[in-house]
Amino acid sequence: MPQENAPDSVVPAPMADATEILETAPETIAILQLFGQMDAAAPLMRLIIAASIVGVSLLLLLISKIVIRRRTRRLEAAPDADFSPLRWQAQDLVPAEDMKKFWLLLWSWLGWCLSLGFGLVALTGILMTNSWTLQLAAHMITLFIAALDYVVSAFMGYLPNLVTIIVIVLVARYLIRIIGLVFEGLRSRRINVKNFYPEWAETSFSLIKLMIYVLTAVIVFPYLPGSSSPAFQGISIFVGVLVSLGSTTAVANVIAGIVLTYTRAFTEGDQVEVGGTRGRVVERSTFVTRIQSLKNVIVSIPNSMVLSNNIINYSKNLGQTGLLVHTTITIGYDVPWQTVNELLIAAAKKTDNIVDQPEPFVLQTSLDDNYVSYEINGWTRKAEELPKIYSNLHANILDEFHGHQVEITSPAFRAIREGGASTIPEVKPR
């Protein structure tokens, strides 16, 4: 019996069956067709590629895990002092211990992202090994390619704006450098401008630099991605309102600091007294003025409070004669004023840091009912030693008066009609 002709043999096309199951994107269909051609030409090629993808992905995943683990352990073992705090002026916006936590969190998130990325790539390779999951693998490859294409096309489209931003920032940066050189010359007195004091240079440069920063931000803003979107504009308005409502005190301190600079009320190193706090100015920042008190305590006073209080500067007019030290005692009328003057001047001359030239002098400041008020005055150039100078001066006054049998008292007298012993001393010739 003649054998019937068998139908022509065809190559199995599982890809065609897979494409009939779901409505697939053209890019996914193209990848499936490429896999079909690959299977027809070399049946093991797809499996080799899939195994390579899985192996490389797992190897990179392992390497990233090891590297990030070592890095996090090194960060955990490092002391907080090894991390630089985020500072602005003299203020620590983010302290060192928080910066350590930030870097640990950053490396941890980086590890999770790398693990997710390499895991998805390895999963794609595994899905490529089976014809039943090949369409899903092709779909994932399509998503990867689409994401990469989106990033590249967005970057290329934004490239002109990015170049513009870079040029604007570079121009602003070098302009600030040039202006900084000019103000450095003014500060060091290499450049002299009439009626411009060297201590104004730093504050003036900071103001001009702030203006350049603000102008640069305004120019760059339209070139930022998403700057024209309503969401971005709404966030900008919201942040502006928060800053304007919450920075009233900060702005007042900044303005007060600027006013203090241009009024030349004091400079760093001066001995001052502000609002009952007396000591040496160790720092004057944008917001606060720090004074090291006589007890070696650092007191931070907001600039607005400094500006609203009387400022006594003991170092401003030291000049050649120095600062006048003075104290007052009261002595009864029974002691000749010449004796009191001699004793007070002798005590002043024995006091350390009170100079002999100009000589100390005494003023009779008042003639009260029962006693005379005497004020001893002496010159010193050691404003930072005032408490010790006053203490030594008082001790020397006690020694001089007690050594000459003169009591430092403020006697009270009562007149009696019958009379009594006179308290009028003998008048000595001048």
pLDDT averaged over every residue in the chain: 80
Per-residue pLDDT tens digits for 226-235? 767 776 667 7
Please give the pLDDT value at position 62: 92
CATH assignment at residue 334: 3.30.70.100
* 25 and 111 share one domain: yes
In this prediction, residues 250-276 reach a mean pLDDT of: 80
If pLDDT is split at 50, 70 and 90, which confidence band does 242 have? low
pLDDT at residue 167 greater than cutoff 90: yes
Coil, strand or helix: which one is 403? helix
Per-residue pLDDT tens digits for 89-125? 566 667 878 888 888 898 889 989 988 888 888 888 8
Hey, which bits of 8-152 come out as E strands? 86-88, 91-94
Residue 18: how many CB atoms within 10 A of its CB? 22
* Close Cβ partners of 151 (under 8 Å, ≥ 6 residues apart): none
The pair of structure tokens assigned to 190 is 């290499």
- Residues counted in the chain: 430
The residue that leads in pLDDT, 270 or 25, is 270
Q: Which of 161-170, 284-293, 362-371 has the lowest mean pLDDT?
A: 284-293
- Domain limits for position 56: 14-155
- Strand order of the β-sheet with 311-313 is 298-302, 288-293, 277-284, 271-274, 311-313
* 366 and 246 share one domain: no
- For residue 409, is it within any domain? no
Percentage above 70 pLDDT, the chain: 83
Residue 411: how many CB atoms within 10 A of its CB? 13
Please give the pLDDT value at position 8: 41
**What CA–CA distance (Å, rounded) separates 90 from 359?**
44
Please give the pLDDT value at position 98: 82
Of 217, 250, 283, the last residue of a domain is: 250
Percentage above 90 pLDDT, the chain: 15
If pLDDT is split at 50, 70 and 90, which confidence band does 341 have? very high
- For residue 414, is it within any domain? no
In this prediction, residues 349-365 reach a mean pLDDT of: 89
Please give the pLDDT value at position 24: 57
In this prediction, residues 165-174 reach a mean pLDDT of: 93
* 181 and 203 share one domain: yes
With contact defined as beta carbons under 8 Å apart, do 275 and 301 qualify?
yes
Per-residue pLDDT tens digits for 8-52? 433 344 444 433 434 456 777 777 777 777 767 777 787 888 888
* Close Cβ partners of 344 (under 8 Å, ≥ 6 residues apart): 329, 360, 362, 374, 376, 397, 400
Please give the pLDDT value at position 21: 38
Please give the pLDDT value at position 375: 94
* Close Cβ partners of 176 (under 8 Å, ≥ 6 residues apart): 209, 212
The residue that leads in pLDDT, 52 or 420, is 52
Please give the pLDDT value at position 377: 93
Of 195, 220, 250, the last residue of a domain is: 250
* 103 and 201 share one domain: no
- For residue 391, is it within any domain? yes
Number of folded domains in the chain? Answer: 4
**DSSP code of residue 276:** T
In this prediction, residues 242-269 reach a mean pLDDT of: 74
* Of 398, 410, 430, 407, residue with least CA distance to 366: 410
The residue that leads in pLDDT, 81 or 423, is 81
DSSP string, 303-323: HHHHHHS-EEESSTT-TTT-E
* 224 and 307 share one domain: no
* 149 and 27 share one domain: yes
* 125 and 23 share one domain: yes
The pair of structure tokens assigned to 198 is 């060297």
With contact defined as beta carbons under 8 Å apart, do 185 and 176 qualify?
no
pLDDT at residue 159 greater than cutoff 50: yes
* 289 and 329 share one domain: no
If pLDDT is split at 50, 70 and 90, which confidence band does 365 have? very high
If pLDDT is split at 50, 70 and 90, which confidence band does 246 have? low
* 31 and 149 share one domain: yes
Give the torsion sign (CA, 187, 197, 304, 385): positive
Residue 309: how many CB atoms within 10 A of its CB? 14
pTM of model > 0.85: no
User: 366: which strand partners?
Assistant: 373
